[in-house]
Amino acid sequence: MTRKYAVRLDIDTTVCARKLIDVVELGNRLGVKFTIFANMGRSVSLSAAFLRRLSQRSVRGNPTEPMMKLSIRDKIGWKGILESILINPELHRLSADALLKARDSGHEIGLHGGLNHSLWHFAASSMDADQMHRFLTPAIEHYQNILGYNSFGFSSPGFKSSQPAYEILAGAGCAYLSDFIDCTGRVRCSPCGLPDVPVTLSAANTVDFLEWYVASGASSPLENAIEQSIGEDGFGVYYSHPCFIAGKGKQVFSQFVCALREQAEIVTMSELVL
């Protein structure tokens, strides 16, 4: 059995959306097809920021290990931070042209959440069916208007799943989900009947493995991480973001892809399940 590996990239921020065109060029240069999950709405939400502050406060009395990851400034820069706070544009307005170029270059494009990336992360799991319908359906329509796809993959921001969302997605042509992390790499079936494909390579707390690798100053061979993340179904999935692999992570990502090519065939996520 040929071992397969997919590279999943989530568009979360304005910088991810703007750097997508660089990512398409990088993929073409490396000869790799990516699976790009695009958020169609705004990146940040004031109410989500408030919820995040509350949740951080609730764990303050119980300090845990510091997370090894890059700061938001390292990833999107002051310009990206200011744009997100002051303008907070809908991401599809920044990424639509690059998404079409990515599609035409053979990359897979899926949908990543509803009308606001941060709000999904902090509130999607508590939304009822009507709230989720208002939050998700316009995002599906934006996605289908831009890409023209009737069948697509879906991933939830922050791996925060929602059963009402899954029912809507199943009725709207969604073909598979990617909503959990599990290095044993077994596809599971969600209650709505859609296959759910795990990310198999990640650092703790859903941090991008290569971001952790850079932030922690790790030097262990990337080949080992790849080997260990090919699971029982014979595939692996690494996930990251355009702002990292076309920014601070560009060099290590290219090394990772070279190492990956030696061990597996690099495919899109739909090729893993469909």
Which residues contribute to the site for Zn ion (CB under 5 A)? 10, 12, 157
Q: Which helix (H) or strand (E) holds 75?
A: helix 72-86
- Closer residue to Zn ion in complex, CB, 4/92: 92
DSSP state of 80: H
- Closer residue to Zn ion in complex, CB, 10/208: 10
- Closer residue to Zn ion in complex, CB, 16/230: 16
Give CB contacts under 8 A, 24+ apart, made by 50-53: 51/122, 51/123, 52/118, 52/122
- Closer residue to Zn ion in complex, CB, 157/236: 157
DSSP state of 219: -
Least distance (Å) from Zn ion to the CB of residue 76? 13
- Closer residue to Zn ion in complex, CB, 10/108: 10
- Closer residue to Zn ion in complex, CB, 230/243: 243
Torsion sign across C-alpha atoms 236, 240, 245, 251 = negative
Least distance (Å) from Zn ion to the CB of residue 244? 12
Q: Report CA-CA distances (Å) from 148 to 16, 19, 45, 104, 212.
A: 22, 22, 28, 12, 36
Beta-strand pair 4-11/235-240: parallel
Beta-strand pair 195-196/188-189: antiparallel
Beta-strand pair 265-267/188-189: unpaired
Least distance (Å) from Zn ion to the CB of residue 71? 17
Least distance (Å) from Zn ion to the CB of residue 223? 27
- Closer residue to Zn ion in complex, CB, 157/242: 157
Least distance (Å) from Zn ion to the CB of residue 165? 14
Least distance (Å) from Zn ion to the CB of residue 46? 18
Least distance (Å) from Zn ion to the CB of residue 12? 4
- 78: its two tokens: 């002051």
CA count, 13 A, side-chain hemisphere, 129: 4
Give the C-alpha separation, 74 to 69, whole Å: 10
